[in-house]
């Protein structure tokens, strides 16, 4: 039985901190010499904290800074006009009433922080105004008396009490500290001490240790509280929280984990125990930890943990493969995909800002590479320009990099990346990138809750994201509000009607019971990935494998069976064609198809298709295919949805305004209750129609097997043989003793073999090669080779957590 949707009291909101991290991103204000006495350091560090929020000195005449200043001023002026300053008020804004509600006072503090930032930043309509200062001080008193004070027990979402409200409150106090009455400041720091006393424990559940992004956030809050209260032990507590001194480093942010929350050596990042979350929680951890390192630099509380290299290495291991021209890939953004005001370009901009900030204090070898990455990302993305997404502090860092002739603009990253710790696979080529979102009994298929990600049912069932350098708005331009959530590319689905998920309080995850999810990588450029599909609430089962071979991705499915009396489909493509512009031509077997919305067709024996501006699709014959049993279906439609349909969150809820986008959808119809059905299709991203037709005729990649024992392909010209074995078996002379993924590349100088056990079920795997082996050039320490007419490679996969093992033979 699949695991049920499980409830959690984990955090449900990152929009507030993400927005704050971008618009108030950290700027190292220049390190003062380390003070001999902590008392001498408080004012220095508080001034630095204020500069982190406002950006310090900048040229308001520069068009980019002027635009950022206008954005801040416009938002602040809006909140200022709407602020209720009447006697007897019970809330600060009508839409956040009553102020006693945790969500309302949490968001009210965030708005006050925006007002305080505008008051403290030169050049806004509120800069230095006594009226604004007085109103801010009175507003803080109202929230303290009616909503957020030590005498209240926590209720509702814990995150507002322990992270959201105290972070915004402490940052507001930093900005107003010189004009804030001492009694007020003491009351506010006491409140924060009540709900966020340290970075180590959840206040409303003291037995729960904080991990990952939550720990990093709390460390920043505690540090600001300590500085404002001029209390050295509290500042030290914040610093030590990063390394988890209290518990001997068990939850240190500077260590790799092998399960649960944190960074993994393979670049994975997990939060909430089982969710792939690099793009939001991972980014928050990077930003908050980097902020605290910069804030405390050259002070008595400087971060000196020698293992900070884990954080530095994460930029290239964990983040760079998942950022495409400044976009953060949706496969690692969890429930944040449903947030109208936090799309892939927003989270990408936040991560980029954090990376540039971290570079300001990182060793030079790291910093030079990161700045080159950032320069390339910024320059290539003209669809959602970075400079228009961030506030003044982040803007200053980015402009410095862009103006520095010694910093090259790095080209797009290429390669094949397997994130075994979070069931994600990324295949990157010069013009595009493909991401696979998988799931297993270890990693959740989705997270939903507090009204977020209501239709995320199939996002972890093998969804295939195709990022195109010529269409950077594919997923950020209204995709999640309008796409058919039953037809996500790459998925095989039972077409049953689904109810909203996550509409109640708290967050929860769904983890299926399959073991296999992941794959192997060869030469850093080729890969095989597999996932056993155990459908949620359905009898549907399938074995799915993807072969990523340079510019080609072959997708195979076998053992597709269900007995629920419903249609089962495999979705090849569901492309967002946006709201306007000419219709993109869809060609099937050389014939252009109608371009009007509402068109649909069935093609019983389609050989290939091509979508203008995207690429080609080939539907080859394959072992096990039943003649006439698999039809290609195609549909053009304009879909209309609302962000509110997928997110009703208290602080992240979408608008009810209808959004319309045009789509071309291609899917394979397996019929009702299929029994051992299969499919095969090939993706040719960026290919022309003629190139697709030529590939379909030549078939340079041959499908060798597609059944429940093995799925395998061969690319003879490249000398590549790749297979995923679901059990012991053999194909084309390649044999395996049990489940595993195998890639073999032969050349004149010998052969390279890569093996992985993505199901983590085996102790050893024995692979027999289809050729003679005379000797061994090198192997990983987990691999042994026996030479002979049929070379034998034995791999100790037990305990390797899905990683790839390699050998080179002659």
The one catalytic residue in 109, 188, 264, 281 is 281
Please write down the HEC assignment for all residues of 274-302: CEECHHHHHHHHHHHHHHHHHHHCCCCCC
Per the CB < 8 A criterion, the answer to whether 616 and 623 are in contact is no
Q: Tokens in use for 32? A: 């003062």
The one catalytic residue in 272, 346, 455, 610 is 272
Per the CB < 8 A criterion, the answer to whether 546 and 528 are in contact is yes
CB atoms within 10 A of CB 224: 27
Q: How far apart are CA 260 and CA 319, in angstroms?
A: 19
Residues 6 or more apart whose CB falls under 8 angstroms from that of 309 comprise: 254
CA distances from 736 to 375, 462, 703, 724, 755 (A): 46, 25, 18, 9, 10
Q: Tokens in use for 222? A: 């505690």
Q: Give 87: exposed, middle or buried? Use CB within 10 Å, 0-12, 13-18, 19+.
A: exposed
Q: How far apart are CA 11 and CA 391, in angstroms?
A: 25
Ordered strands of the 631-641 beta sheet: 492-494, 567-578, 659-672, 631-641, 600-603
CA distances from 444 to 319, 540, 777 (A): 20, 18, 40
Residue 214: active-site member? yes
Taking the alpha carbons of 447, 339, 383, 470 in that order, is the dihedral positive or negative? positive
Query: Residue 806 phi/psi, 5° resolution?
Result: -130, 155
Q: Which of 17, 27, 21, 50 shows the shortest CA–CA distance to 120?
A: 50
CA distances from 410 to 204, 267, 377, 551 (A): 46, 20, 8, 21
Residue 272: active-site member? yes
Reported as type and span, the H/E element at residue 723 is strand 720-725
Residues 6 or more apart whose CB falls under 8 angstroms from that of 378 comprise: 326, 352, 385, 386, 387, 398, 401, 402
Q: How far apart are CA 806 and CA 800, in angstroms?
A: 13
Q: Give 59: exposed, middle or buried? Use CB within 10 Å, 0-12, 13-18, 19+.
A: exposed
Residue 251: active-site member? no
CA distances from 612 to 407, 501, 680, 809 (A): 36, 35, 22, 43
C-alpha torsion 240→241→243→246, nearest 10:
80
The one catalytic residue in 214, 251, 453, 576 is 214
Q: Which of 422, 410, 409, 425 shows the shortest CA–CA distance to 321?
A: 425
Query: Where does 7-164 have alpha helices with state H?
Result: 15-23, 38-54, 63-82, 102-120, 130-146, 158-159
Reported as type and span, the H/E element at residue 808 is strand 805-809
Please write down the HEC assignment for all residues of 645-673: HCECCCCCCCCCCCEEEEEEEEEEEEEEC
Angle (CA) 296 298 299, round 5°? 60
Query: Residue 280 phi/psi, 5° resolution?
Result: -125, -70
Q: Which of 577, 578, 581, 586 shows the shortest CA–CA distance to 616?
A: 586
Letter string b/e over residues 10-19, b meaning 16 or more CB atoms within 10 A of that residue's CB: bbbbbbbbbb
Reported as type and span, the H/E element at residue 434 is strand 432-437
Q: Which of 342, 351, 385, 390 shows the shortest CA–CA distance to 370?
A: 351
* Residues taking part in catalysis: 214, 272, 281
């Amino acid at each position: 039985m699949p695991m049920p949707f499980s409830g959690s009291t984990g955090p449900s909101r990152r929009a507030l901190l993400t927005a704050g991290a971008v618009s108030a991103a950290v700027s190292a204000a220049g390190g003062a010499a380390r003070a001999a006495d902590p008392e001498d350091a408080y004012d220095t560090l508080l001034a630095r904290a204020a500069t982190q929020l406002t950006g310090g000195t900048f040229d308001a005449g520069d068009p980019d800074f002027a635009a950022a200043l206008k954005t801040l001023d416009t938002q602040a002026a809006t909140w200022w006009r709407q602020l209720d300053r009447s006697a007897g008020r019970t809330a600060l804004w009508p839409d956040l009433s009553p102020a006693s509600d945790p969500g309302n006072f949490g968001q009210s503090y965030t708005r006050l922080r925006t007002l305080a930032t505008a008051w403290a930043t030169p050049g806004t309509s509120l800069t230095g105004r006594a009226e604004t200062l007085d109103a801010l001080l009175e507003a803080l008193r109202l929230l303290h008396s009616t909503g957020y004070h030590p005498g209240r027990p926590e209720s509702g979402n814990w995150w507002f009490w322990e992270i959201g409200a105290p972070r915004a409150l402490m940052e507001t106090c930093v900005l107003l500290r010189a004009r804030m009455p001492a009694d007020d400041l003491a009351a506010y720091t006491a409140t924060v001490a009540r709900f966020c006393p340290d970075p180590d424990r959840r206040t409303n559940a003291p037995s729960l240790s904080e991990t990952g992004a939550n720990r990093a956030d709390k460390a920043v809050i505690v540090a600001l509280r300590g500085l404002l209260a001029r209390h050295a032990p509290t500042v030290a507590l914040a610093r030590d929280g990063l390394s988890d001194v209290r518990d001997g480093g068990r939850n240190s942010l500077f260590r790799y984990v092998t399960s649960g929350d944190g960074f993994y050596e393979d670049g994975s990042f997990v939060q909430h125990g089982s969710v792939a979350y690099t793009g939001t929680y991972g980014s928050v951890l990077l930003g908050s930890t980097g902020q605290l390192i910069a804030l405390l630099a050259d002070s008595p509380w400087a971060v000196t943990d020698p293992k900070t290299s884990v954080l530095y290495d994460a930029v290239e291991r964990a983040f760079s493969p998942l950022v495409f021209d400044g976009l953060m890939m949706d496969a690692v953004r969890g429930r944040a995909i449903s947030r109208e005001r936090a799309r892939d370009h927003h989270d990408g901009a936040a991560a980029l800002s954090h990376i540039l900030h971290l570079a300001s204090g990182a060793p030079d070898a790291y910093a030079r590479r990161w700045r080159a990455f950032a320069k390339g990302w910024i320059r290539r993305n003209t669809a959602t320009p970075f400079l228009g997404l961030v506030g003044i502090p982040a803007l200053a860092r980015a402009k410095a990099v862009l103006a520095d002739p010694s910093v090259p603009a790095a080209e797009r990253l290429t390669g094949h990346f397997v994130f075994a710790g979070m069931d994600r696979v990324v295949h990157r080529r010069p013009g595009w990138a493909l991401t696979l979102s998988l799931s297993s009994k270890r990693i959740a298929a989705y997270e939903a809750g507090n009204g977020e990600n209501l239709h995320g049912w199939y996002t972890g069932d093998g969804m295939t994201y195709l990022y195109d350098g010529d269409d950077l708005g594919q997923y950020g331009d209204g995709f999640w509000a309008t796409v058919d959530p039953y037809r996500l590319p790459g998925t095989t689905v039972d077409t049953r009607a689904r109810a909203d998920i996550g509409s109640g309080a708290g967050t929860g995850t769904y983890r299926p019971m399959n073991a296999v999810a992941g794959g192997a990588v060869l030469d850093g450029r080729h890969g095989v990935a597999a996932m056993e599909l155990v459908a949620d609430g359905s009898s549907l089962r399938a074995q799915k494998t993807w072969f990523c071979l340079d510019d080609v991705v072959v997708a195979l499915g076998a053992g597709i069976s269900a007995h629920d009396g419903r249609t089962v489909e495999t979705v090849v493509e569901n492309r967002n064609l946006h709201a306007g512009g000419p219709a993109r031509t869809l060609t099937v077997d050389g014939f252009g198809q109608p371009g009007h919305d509402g068109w649909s067709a069935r093609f019983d024996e389609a050989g290939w298709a091509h979508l203008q501006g995207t690429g080609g699709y080939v539907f080859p014959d394959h072992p096990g295919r039943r003649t006439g049993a698999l039809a290609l279906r195609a549909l053009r439609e304009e879909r209309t949805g609302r962000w509110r349909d997928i997110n009703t969150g208290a602080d992240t809820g979408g608008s009810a305004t209808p959004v319309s986008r045009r789509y071309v959808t291609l899917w394979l119809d397996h019929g009702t209750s299929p029994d051992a059905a299969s499919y095969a299709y090939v993706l040719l991203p960026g290919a022309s129609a003629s190139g697709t037709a030529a590939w379909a005729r030549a078939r340079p990649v041959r499908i060798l097997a597609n059944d429940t024992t093995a799925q395998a392909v061969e690319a003879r010209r490249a000398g590549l043989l790749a297979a995923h074995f679901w059990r012991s078996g053999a194909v084309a002379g390649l044999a395996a003793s049990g489940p595993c993924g195998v890639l073999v590349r032969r050349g004149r100088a010998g052969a390279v073999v890569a093996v992985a056990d993505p199901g983590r079920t085996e102790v050893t795997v024995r692979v027999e090669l289809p050729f003679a082996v005379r000797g061994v050039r090198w192997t990983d320490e987990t691999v042994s080779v026996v030479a002979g007419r049929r070379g034998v490679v034995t791999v100790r996969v037990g305990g390797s957590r899905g990683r790839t093992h390699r050998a080179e033979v002659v």
